[in-house]
Structure 1
């Protein structure tokens, strides 16, 4: 009986996730243009990625730069605003929480990206600052991690801060010795989630850059180049290989984050 109720989800997972992944893995070893039968080429697609495609390496560099700037900026803003909102008392608290969360409701929408492009029109057309605009757009939508941080802050026992105040601890001391250690599991959760999302960023770069990663490939995100190869040039086998490299890279980075978390993430039973 349980499997009967799970059947719709299982069918969706197999038909919409597992099966396409298996097909994609097969296509990554082929030369496939969507119109003719796939032709087996072995590891040629993967060899070309790292040895005969400078734009691919450029897309990797742009994506790593974006992740390296956008994730810390977004988490720092989210934590700062969460700390501010947690200190608020009174009727205005709910309003400010909703106001700060509102930009995240827009998600990675085309309309928002178009508005952002119009606001930063001069920056977008300059190679040195085009990527900065997309980083700012990502950081501006800090509502989701902010809410998670806020929930974590509200779970920290108040008597810890009272005891620290009696001992003469100031705001910074409380932040370093109580807030951040107690909040480290939430920080780790947000870090993993936002890192994965940053590697998958597409809509903002597609709209802001005009769909080509410009100017001068300064916003050529990995996912944008994958889309270009697969759906503009119809090199679906090559795009599939790119997708699997991205999957493995995200898995490895996530594994490293989990591996290093033992040194800075503290849970209740460890304190």
Structure 2
């Protein structure tokens, strides 16, 4: 479905980023793995190549304008750009009790990385007259004590809409993969009892009483990036298993 396409995956060494990168590679894409740590990027690249796929790595700080722009220019042709940068989380504190710094950080991080990576990709895609820009997370019903985390996702969704409007005439699609949580991606550093509680809570909030998996994300990402989804832009693809109804 993606044969010959060049895809940049930002945050490619993380659980979700690596799953998406591997799915893209299986479908024939040349995957450019971007992240801050060469060692972990190389591990993902080795797995992709061992499975017969094509992967290149690049150390990129997605919060740094120069780093993002220089990497995109080096890649050259960009058919797919997917921002899967992990976001800082300050959960458990009511907004009225939170410091301004803790509130602002996840908002600024999410918005800055998506803007910089999307802008860099779009500048290449405009020359080509085609491309797909993807983001991850989406915006569901409000929940208490998430600090600026959900606010950041809301800001990214507003930017995604604006980008879709401006870039559509150039043949560029902009989409969100919306999730209500992927328990498989929870860090191994979490205590086991906490991971199990998160998995149980995520499943309980869905209609099908199961959480979306990493393979689910990879499959939908491939579809969204492919020509089979050429009629979709400016919208979110709902992977919440019914936790968010729309």
TM-score by length of 1: 0.25
The structure number with the bigger radius of gyration is: 1
TM-score, normalization by structure 2: 0.26
Greater share of helix: 1
Structure with greater proportional strand content? 2
